[in-house]
Structure 1
Amino acid sequence: MLATLDGIVALGHQRDMSDTQTNAHEFTVSEISHAVKRTVEETFGFVRVRGEISGFRGRHSSGHCYFTLKDDGATIDAVVWKGSYAKLAFKPEEGLEIIATGRLTTYPRSSKYQIVIEQIEPAGAGALMALLEDRRKKLLAEGLFAPERKRPIPYLPKVIGVVTSPTGSVIRDILHRLDDRFPSHVIVWPVRVQGDTCAAEVTAAIDGFNAFTVDGAIPRPDLLIVARGGGSIEDLWGFNEENVVRAVSRSTIPVISAVGHETDITLIDYVSDKRAPTPTGAAEMAVPVRAELIGYVEDLGLRQRQGTRRITANLRDRVRAAGAGLPRPGDLVSTQRQRLDMATARLSSALRAAQHAKAIDFQRVSGRLSLSLLHQRSQSLRHRLDVASSRSAHGLQTRLNRARIAYSPLAGRVRPGLLSAPIDRGSRRVEAATSRIDAAFLRAVEARRARFDGLSKLLSSVSYHQVLARGFALVTDAEGNLVRSSTDVKPGDALSIDVAQGTIAATVAGAPPIPKRKAKPDPVPGDQETLF
């Protein structure tokens, strides 16, 4: 085709040099365009072009991508078909310097040539680092790396999910370290940790673990470890992809990133809840040392028991100190016991004084109480009762007479038989009333007699004659006044001394009085002291 194109050009040149009248073949525009297209595609079937992406506006609605590759002297149109875009390890971005692998072709409708890109790789480590920094700033501005988004790692997870390659040494290191520290249930989600499908598989693994239910057939992990061994920036690039970072960000399970060695930094390290320098370090962060945990628990138990003993001893000392400050039980009731004894002693004297006072009061009214007076009152009451009975009988007779007079006009119409029944009922009522009156009178007389007998016995019990019978005496002066004190008489006064068997006449002499014994004072009737 290249020779044919050269022939077409040569013929055109000869036509210019010769007469314009010629028999040369005429080509259509389409034929020329297709000939050029075939020539370009056959000559440049596989090329690698280095340049900077310009004019990239994202994917078209059809899924294809269109942009321009440029350098200092020229530009070339580029297209990435929909099927090839999904297989790209590095996605095109505005301003990124890349090495594009593909084939050249033309677009006949605009007489332009373009490169159909099948693979893109950054143009050196510097370009990768620049892309990584741009992506980091973008995600940082969205807040995906904010410290407040990070969750605490569970202290003792029951189930640990590991996202890594099942054939590498990383998973063996993690399992061995977990078995040494604290054997746990580990679920491994196998993924490729390098290559074009690495990012998609890691993203699917993280989302898959989060989709597990708590009570499902496969237990839901309490912690995730995303791990890979060391490598170059190109080898670790799958963990810098945006979809992986966003999968870790939206994970509801805490994530520990352990990608590469300690010096290797990927974007997943910024968004994860904890970064481990190595996969072995991630296993050490995930679980504590079982022996140390047992020792720590035993130490806490010992400290708890010691603290309990100290608190108990402190409370016991406080109770003892409080008890030492309390009075003795005997001291609490001694004062009340003394008050009771004093009240008991005062009670006896108070009873004697009260009895003496009552005796004096009875003496004052005894003159008005006599058997003749009671008989007189009884006779008076009997007379009143007789008068009332006679008045009652007279009243009944009067009412009967009045009734007889009132009913005399009707006597002719009233038969004796009609009146006999009411008369009989009235007679029975009169007789019942008379019997009740007599019984009531007798009961009243008996009640008065019983009361009189009680008063007579009370008078006899509290009478000073009973006191005189016990050996005491009642001293009165010539006018009959009671002698209550030695100052009430003077030498030469006449005295009358009443004893149980009679009265003794005496005269006050000038000799001094006989001293009185304090234990048994001389009884004087009417005084406030007792006569015992």
Structure 2
Amino acid sequence: MSDLFDDPDDAQPAGGNAPEFTVSELSGAVKRTIEGAFTHVRVRGEVGRVSRPRSGHVYLDLKDDRSVLAGVIWKGNAQRLRTQPEEGMEVIATGRLTTFPGQSRYQIVIEDIAPAGVGALMAMLEKRRTALAAEGLFDEARKRPLPYLPEVIGVVTSPSGAVIRDILHRLRDRFPRKVLVWPVAVQGDKCAAEVAAAIRGFNALAPGGAIPRPDVLIVARGGGSIEDLWGFNEEIVVRAAADSGIPLISAVGHETDTTLIDFASDRRAPTPTAAAEMAVPVRRDLAVHLGALEDRRRRALAGQIAAKSQRLQDLSRALPRPEAMLGERAQRLDACAQRLPLALTGFARHTRLRLSTGPGGRFGPQLLSGRIEVRQGRLQALSDRLPRGLSRQAERARARLDRLVLRPRQLEALKDQEHGRLDRAVKALARCAITAEERRKQKLRELAGLLRSLGYTETLRRGFAVVRDDAGALVQGAEAARAAPALEIEFADGRVPVLPGGGPRPARKPRRAADDPGGDGSGGDGPQGTLF
């Protein structure tokens, strides 16, 4: 009752009896209230800021024209999402509301996110296509031509669908080839990663390895909705197709379906069957074409042979007759053959006369005698100079030893060294002198042999003789022999004096053929006569 009479100024403020909370307690209470009131919700909005830190979580904003809602996608859910959020994309996010006490805000923990209708997917697709085209991944300069006849074809598709059967059947009808199938999921969450891994796996095969490397790749899938084909619009697939070193054909969907892999591939096929037709030619058509080319080759070859034959005949008619071309040259050859014996005889006579001209001839004995005398003079001069040179060398060495003033031990060592050098020099000079002397003696012997072979004494040994008069001059004719008061005939084994007489020469006894070794009636001694 006394409280009623208390001073109004002393009264407690309104709510003064309310319980007190800590900040954490109040934040926890708010968190429990929001999470209890909103379990799972679906929110439609436009994706604003997107952040992907190294932790693997995804942070984003969902917004409309008036409000912004913070969102987070934990790492595990982010890896399983079929559609990755991108800025500007209109989506429907499914999750639960909670709070983040650290910043006093509420947020949505997103468990699934999907585009808000086909329009959103097409907008995101166009945005991605524009970004990849700006990088040059769709340029025509990057596209490679397909091989005309590949040996191995790699197919990236589902092994259980009708697509692979259609491709194999079409290849079997047109031109059977080896086919390697890389099985992948063609729709769903795993589609993009498996297709990209298959393309890169085929490119990683080494040429000539145990598994043959394909010459062309086909990425194929049947028709479907844009959501079913979305895996072939993912950036990882587009980049794998653009980086492929093997020419690639995309055959995803039907003719009206378009995916981003179609822009990055080297060729786009409207259907998987059309992709098989692009990969190989028709063997029957190729055989017909080859047959036609063979016929054309044979006709062209026959025409060329006929034209060349006609040309050869025309040219042969314009050529002169062989007899006319060779007749004049044959006549000149006969004339030269008639003149050849006379020319050879004259040349031999002229050469013999030039070689046998007197003592002053070019190859006379005086020439060799002069050279021998010159070489003997030089050899004698060198032999005379050798002792003097050795003496001077020894004197210089001794004088050098005398001039040296060294300690006894060093002097003895130096003297031994110099004596050794002097002895080696003397021995070397002696060897050089002996070698030079032997070389010159050998040369002298060679010249003496040459002189003997060219001298008249060798001719005397072959049965000739030299006739001299009483003064020792050579007698070179019969008239000179008759006019000489006395003659001397020199043979190889001696000289015989002869008195010239005017009486007839005694006749020789005739010899039988058996007694004539020469076979010509002149005896075995050969021809007789003077040397000159």
In structure 1, list runs of 5 or more residues that go unmatched: 1-17, 348-376, 390-429, 447-532
Distance 1:385 1:203, change over 3 A: farther
- TM-score, normalised to structure 2, is 0.61
- Of 152, 155, 160, 2:148 maps to 155
Q: Distance in 2 between matches of 1:32 and 1:218?
A: 66
Q: Distance in 2 between matches of 1:136 and 1:21?
A: 62
2:268 is the counterpart of 1:275: yes
Distance 1:328 1:108, change over 3 A: same
- Of 475, 478, 481, 1:381 maps to 481
Match of 2:76 in 1: 83
SS at match of 2:206: coil
Match of 1:460 in 2: none
Distance 1:21 1:294, change over 3 A: closer
2:30 is the counterpart of 1:36: yes
Match of 1:182 in 2: 175
Deviation by residue 1:343-377 (Cα, 9 ceiling, x = unmatched): 79x99xxxxxxxxxxxxxxxxxxxxxxxxxxxxx8
Distance 1:143 1:438, change over 3 A: farther
In structure 2, list runs of 5 or more residues that go unmatched: 1-11, 340-476, 506-532
Give 1:247 deviation, angstroms. Answer: 0.6
Give 1:333 deviation, angstroms. Answer: 3.8
Match of 1:53 in 2: 47
- Of 257, 262, 266, 2:259 maps to 266
SS at match of 2:95: strand
Q: Distance in 1 between matches of 2:500 and 2:267?
A: 118
Give 1:275 deviation, angstroms. Answer: 0.5
Distance 1:434 1:239, change over 3 A: closer
Match of 1:241 in 2: 234
Distance 1:201 1:433, change over 3 A: closer
The answer as to whether partners of 2:149 and 2:280 remain within 8 angstroms in 1 is yes
Q: Give 1:107-122 correspondences, 5 Å limit.
A: 107-122=100-115
SS at match of 1:216: coil
Q: Distance in 1 between matches of 2:53 and 2:490?
A: 139
SS at match of 1:217: coil
SS at match of 1:277: coil
Match of 2:468 in 1: none
Deviation by residue 1:48-100 (Cα, 9 ceiling, x = unmatched): 111112222x4112221212111011110011211111112221222222111
Query: Residue type matched to 1:42 in 2?
Result: G
Give 1:383 deviation, angstroms. Answer: 3.8
The answer as to whether partners of 2:490 and 2:496 remain within 8 angstroms in 1 is no
Percent of paired sites with the same residue: 59
Q: Distance in 2 between matches of 1:103 and 1:439?
A: 161
- Of 118, 128, 151, 1:135 maps to 128
Give 1:32 deviation, angstroms. Answer: 2.1
Give 1:433 deviation, angstroms. Answer: 11
2:306 is the counterpart of 1:323: no
Match of 1:309 in 2: 302
Give 1:112 deviation, angstroms. Answer: 0.7
Distance 1:282 1:436, change over 3 A: same
Match of 1:195 in 2: 188
2:84 is the counterpart of 1:25: no
Q: Distance in 2 between matches of 1:233 and 1:327?
A: 87
SS at match of 1:281: helix
2:495 is the counterpart of 1:436: yes
Distance 1:74 1:441, change over 3 A: farther
Give 1:180 deviation, angstroms. Answer: 1.1
Q: Distance in 2 between matches of 1:302 and 1:278?
A: 37
Give 1:332 deviation, angstroms. Answer: 2.6
The answer as to whether partners of 2:95 and 2:108 remain within 8 angstroms in 1 is yes
* Two-structure CA RMSD over aligned residues (Å): 3.2
Give 1:26 deviation, angstroms. Answer: 2.8
Match of 1:126 in 2: 119
Deviation by residue 1:282-312 (Cα, 9 ceiling, x = unmatched): 0100111111111122222222222222222
SS at match of 1:215: coil
Give 1:178 deviation, angstroms. Answer: 1.0
Deviation by residue 1:254-279 (Cα, 9 ceiling, x = unmatched): 10000111111111011101110111
Distance 1:385 1:226, change over 3 A: farther
Query: Residue type matched to 2:32 in 1?
Result: R
Match of 2:91 in 1: 98
Q: Distance in 2 between matches of 1:42 and 1:337?
A: 131
- TM-score, normalised to structure 1, is 0.61
2:264 is the counterpart of 1:164: no
Match of 2:209 in 1: 216
Q: Distance in 2 between matches of 1:69 and 1:326?
A: 101
Distance 1:297 1:441, change over 3 A: farther
Match of 1:425 in 2: none
Distance 1:167 1:334, change over 3 A: same
Higher Cα radius of gyration: 1
Distance 1:227 1:340, change over 3 A: closer
Match of 1:472 in 2: none
Distance 1:210 1:337, change over 3 A: closer
Give 1:380 deviation, angstroms. Answer: 5.1
Distance 1:379 1:173, change over 3 A: closer
Q: Distance in 1 between matches of 2:13 and 2:258?
A: 74
The answer as to whether partners of 2:82 and 2:188 remain within 8 angstroms in 1 is yes
Match of 2:434 in 1: none
Q: Distance in 2 between matches of 1:42 and 1:103?
A: 10
The answer as to whether partners of 2:485 and 2:499 remain within 8 angstroms in 1 is no
Query: Residue type matched to 2:33 in 1?
Result: T
SS at match of 1:55: strand
Give 1:195 deviation, angstroms. Answer: 1.2
Q: Distance in 2 between matches of 1:160 and 1:52?
A: 44
Give 1:24 deviation, angstroms. Answer: 4.3
More displaced stretch, 67-76 vs 320-329: 320-329
Query: Residue type matched to 2:481 in 1?
Result: L
Give 1:19 deviation, angstroms. Answer: 7.0
Q: Distance in 2 between matches of 1:305 and 1:231?
A: 54
Match of 1:508 in 2: none
Give 1:201 deviation, angstroms. Answer: 0.9
Distance 1:330 1:63, change over 3 A: same
Query: Residue type matched to 2:284 in 1?
Result: A
- Of 241, 245, 249, 1:256 maps to 249
Match of 2:400 in 1: none
